[in-house]
Copies of this chain bind each other. A is one copy, B any other.
Amino acid sequence: MTSQKTFREELLERSRQVQEILYRYLPREEGYQSALAEAMNYSMTAGGKRLRPLLMLETYRLFGGKGRAVEPFMAAMEMIHTHSLIHDDLPALDNDEYRRGRKTTHVVYGEAMAILAGDALLNYAYETACRAFACGEDAANIGKALGILAEKTGIRGMLGGQAVDVQSAGSALSEDKLDFIYRLKTGALIEASMMIGAVLAGASAEETAVVEKVAGLTGLAFQIQDDILDLTGTQQEIGKPTGSDERNHKTTYVTLRGLEAAKKDVEELSARAAELLGSLPGENRFLEELIRELAFRRN
């Protein structure tokens, strides 16, 4: 895993393994409500990098986790992420017609079904995560992981960030507010992913707090890189239209700080994340490279 190529191959292989796990937890398309399951699965099978469940699994491995309870949580995390994409794309929010190169859910299934499919994926995340109780592992740890999942998804996490983002649309943002939106809207689920991996593997409260910081820095670097790519990438590379921030006069990290400073900040955040990760017991070289890759990705 020393060369970039070997890491890339490894990443592809592990993402494929993660996807196989996710697919085992998709709802069955049966009964009168089969169209709802179909709409849920349409977006769940639309590809994507599966980064959050991958981060969860690799953090679980970092702390020596060897059980199965992490698997339903990996699927749950991707369901929550997908829920947020479906609802973000709705006409009343971002009104996007394409995502990952495919038509968005509301374009294919209609607005009402897209709202319900998003709701149902959010709920199915919890239904799926609850299956971890049947794995015969520590119920208190699973309860703790559920609590983290819910807090980081909710009003003090992703949905809180999303609400502030929606409210701020069309007006200039302060650096403080933009930072708040990034930490919650993007960062919170990355924090939850890594924290849940740690907690399920039996990490201590102190170790879990360090993991939260690593994830927070990684998430921020990830989001700033997103802004950079929106400015410098092409639709073909990224799979969605670029330059949208500029067209929408949107305040981003790049408009506030400038492109060069933004690039430097990504480097610094990534370096701090790597340093903190190195301070933890255990070693996971793949996870270290993955966190670096997230900051410097090209798509």
Contacts and interface: CB of A to CB of B under 8 A. Distances in A.
Q: Give this chain's copy count.
A: 2
B143 A139 contact: yes
A248 to B, nearest CB: 15
Given A32-B177, A36-B159, A130-B143, A118 B116 contact: no
Interface stretch (A86-94, A235-243, A267-275, A285-293): A86-94
A259 interface: no
A1 interface: no
Given A112-B92, A146-B126, A155 B36 contact: yes
Interface string A138-159: 0110111011011101111001
Interface in A1-51: 27, 31-33, 35-37, 40
A113 interface: yes
A124 B154 contact: yes
Nearest to A181: B32
A296 interface: no
Given A93-B112, A166-B116, A127 B147 contact: yes
Contacts of A112: 92-93, 166
Contact of A27 (B131, B144, B155): B155
Given A112-B166, A130-B143, 18 more contacts: A33-B155, A33-B160, A33-B161, A33-B163, A35-B167, A36-B159, A36-B163, A36-B164, A37-B155, A40-B155, A87-B116, A113-B166, A127-B153, A127-B154, A130-B146, A133-B143, A133-B147, A139-B140
Q: Assign chain A's interface to a size class.
A: 35 or more
A143 B146 CA distance: 10
Interface in A82-111: 83, 87, 90, 92-93, 110-111
A142 to B, nearest CB: 7
Nearest to A157: B123
A115 interface: yes
A252 interface: no
Contacts of A139: 139-140, 143
Nearest to A128: B150
A161 B123 CA distance: 14
A242 B23 CA distance: 45
A265 interface: no
A283 interface: no
